Structure 1
Amino acid sequence: MAIVKLSATERRRLSAFFTCLVLAVLAWIFTTLSNVYNYTVQEVLTYKNAPQKRAFHSLQPDTVKATVQGTGWQMLFSSMNRESKPITIDLSSLENRNFVVMSSQLKQINIKKEITQPIISIDPDTLYFDFSNRLVKKVPVHLMLGIKYRKQFAVSGNVIIKPAYVTVSGPTERLKQIKLWKTDSLNGTNVTETVNTRINLQPVKEGNLNVYPKTVQVIIPVDEFTEKTLEVPVKLINNHNYDNIKVFPQKVKVTFTTSLSRYPDMTEDLFEATADLDLWRDHGYKSLPVKLTRFPPFCKIVKVSPPNIDFIIKK
């Protein structure tokens, strides 16, 4: 292949040519992107001033096509950055009609948008709504709990949520599907003391629903736990023939964990251990397994010793 050899002067001329070409292309791109264009973007709708006496359901998706006026640079960056603010629509006109004209609210919408990128039209321009009877209902609050406790610490009592119920209002058919309302997730790690905080409820996703209040107080009692062992008498059940039966041993040792604050109050009266005689009568058991049928809440049973008892039936 032939190699073209250029003189120093020719190389300088060629370098100057490509430099001018690159600068010309950059100048053209800069000029083009500096011009003003109309371009279309997808925008999410949110609602305000919803009618209090009429429940509604939007008959179109919650996104619209907005024609925006801006420079080529803004058009370029708008395709990269999709974290734009949603369009807020005023629904006060739904008190006496079933549609909202978007073009009549463009001035208010653009006040909340960047002044350099005004919205000049929205498709569809008219939003239609379906109306139904409005219902008010109380539903329990469901706490979304993601707390991790330090070793030997745990929940030591009932979790308190104030208020335990929230009021939901909206279309009758929609409220029939709502059985509870969740909170935001309550998280924590290495927790060693009682949690007392306010937490938000999960936000309403439909514009025709209202939830009150928006936050609740959550109290989670937390304490350190330790082991304790008690001797609990075994109660024989299903002695249908009232046979004279003697069990060995008459008491079993129950080892469990309990909070330090409740440790002194843990007595054998709070526990009940049973052995079922039907297991011998119907299934031929030689010894009867011991079952704990009653023990205090927030106690974790570690072991029952012995797990089985022997018995003698006197004729």
Structure 2
Amino acid sequence: MEVKAIIKKWLPGIKAFFSTVQWKNVLAFLFFLVLAFIFWLMLFFQKENVEGTYRIPLKYTNIPDDVVFDNPLPSFLEVSVADNGAQIFRLDMRKRDSLEIDVAEITEGNNTVLQGDQYRQLIRNQLFPSTTIRGYYPMNISLATSKLQNKELPVIFDGEITTSRANLVADSATFIPEVVMAYGSQQSLEKLKGAVTEYTVFKNLKATSQLPVKINNVEGVKFIPSRVDIYIPIREYTERTIEVPITATHIPSNLDVKFFPSRANVTFSVTLDEYKKIVPEDFSIKLDYRKFHSNEDGRVELELTDAPSSIINPRISPTSVEFLFESKTKR
């Protein structure tokens, strides 16, 4: 409401102001301004020896995996040039491509510094034939390297994987590739037992997925590759409950044992494909008399003795039962 009130208050004044403007004079002024700019542009295009300074990004390619540069590499160079106005205008308007430095080619034959004619020719490739190079910085680029040790390391996932309600991870996640090569000093490599990924969270996965993850940076160590794929097998699961009798083993011949209750429910997750294959006989809860007979409270914790390998997250209810020993009647 406040905004509407302000607009309503100022609107008559704004209308009154624009009604007093001499639009013919304004349009005439704009016309001559544009005309003057066009004449200036024509004079600029015809002018010789116009100077300009440009920043060109640097891109380094074909770097050997097992080396590290002794000195930091510049990420761009600044070059001062001169040309006629039209060409300088074109340079101003043109998208600046990266200057590509092929490290393997330049360092061939023990050459470790990019300088002189070789460096100048790379810069010239970014300019027009008529353009004169007045200067550039840095004047040279050191490409000296030191040899690194290497060590093969398994990839270790750091993060969380969650699935939608009806799905579960069917098996352990795997990596493609499963190992990476680490390059660094012997001292730094000795400390590493694996290549740990950056902490990554994958939420509500609904189907088998192959997703990219980065290897976490370690100071002084280079990983090749620095990014791997994690393969996460996802299957649709459902829950099922089966009633299983509770039995005992290694009972003395003169004793009998009764459990209260005598059966327990086993609830588990299983894939839809395996659901119909599961039968109660696949499960057993067998308690060892030698482990529970001396329990003073008369209770014993239940443990699942046998179960199909295809089930996931089995739970027993109740988790414990009471027991009672009875002497067998001699006949």
Contact 1:231 1:268 in 2 (8 A): no
Q: C-alpha offsets along residues 105-134 of structure 1, whole Å, 9 cap, x if unaligned?
A: 4434665x57689987341512253524x3
- 2:181 & 2:51 partners in 1: Cα distance? 48
Question: C-alpha displacement at 1:258, in angstroms?
Answer: 0.8
CA RMSD in angstroms comes to 5.5
**Cα distance change of structure 1 residues 286 and 189 upon mapping to structure 2, 3 Å threshold:** closer
Count how many residue pairs are aligned between Structure 1 and Structure 2. Answer: 284
Higher strand share: 1
SS at match of 2:144: strand
**Any gaps of 5 or more consecutive residues in structure 1?**
1-9, 237-242
Looking at structure 1, the residues matched to 286 and 232 of structure 2 have their Cα atoms a distance apart, in angstroms, of 30
Relative distance call for 1:169 and 1:287 in structure 2 (3 A) is same
Which residue among 54, 63, 71 is the counterpart of 2:88? 71
Task: Find the counterpart in structure 2 of residue 229 from structure 1.
Answer: 241
Residue 46 of structure 1 and its aligned partner are, at CA, apart by: 2.1
Gaps of 5+ in 2: 1-21, 82-86, 249-254
Q: Secondary structure at the match of 2:146?
A: strand
In the alignment, the residues of structure 2 paired with residue 128 and residue 308 of structure 1 have an alpha-carbon distance, to the nearest angstrom, of: 71
Partner of 2:180: 166
**SS in structure 2 at match of 1:229:** strand
C-alpha deviation, 1:225, in angstroms: 1.3
Partner of 1:211: 224
Q: Is structure 2 residue 135 aligned with structure 1 residue 125? A: no
| 1:85 paired residue number | 98
1:39 aligns with 2:53: yes
The 2-side partners of 1:273 and 1:15 are apart by 99
CA distance in 2, matches of 1:88, 1:127: 12
Shift of the alpha carbon at 1:168? 3.8
Structure-to-structure mapping, 1:155-304, within 5 angstroms:
155-161=169-175, 163-172=177-186, 175-176=189-190, 179-180=194-195, 182=197, 191-192=206-207, 194=208, 202=214, 209=222, 211=224, 220-232=232-244, 247-263=259-275, 264-265=277-278, 290=302, 296=309, 299-301=312-314, 303-304=315-316
Identical-pair percentage: 17
C-alpha contact (below 8 Å) 1:170/1:209 kept by paired residues: yes
Q: Which has the higher Rg, Structure 1 or Structure 2?
A: 2
Q: Look up the equivalent residue of 1:66 and give its one-letter code.
A: E
TM-score normalized with structure 2 length: 0.57
1:48 aligns with 62
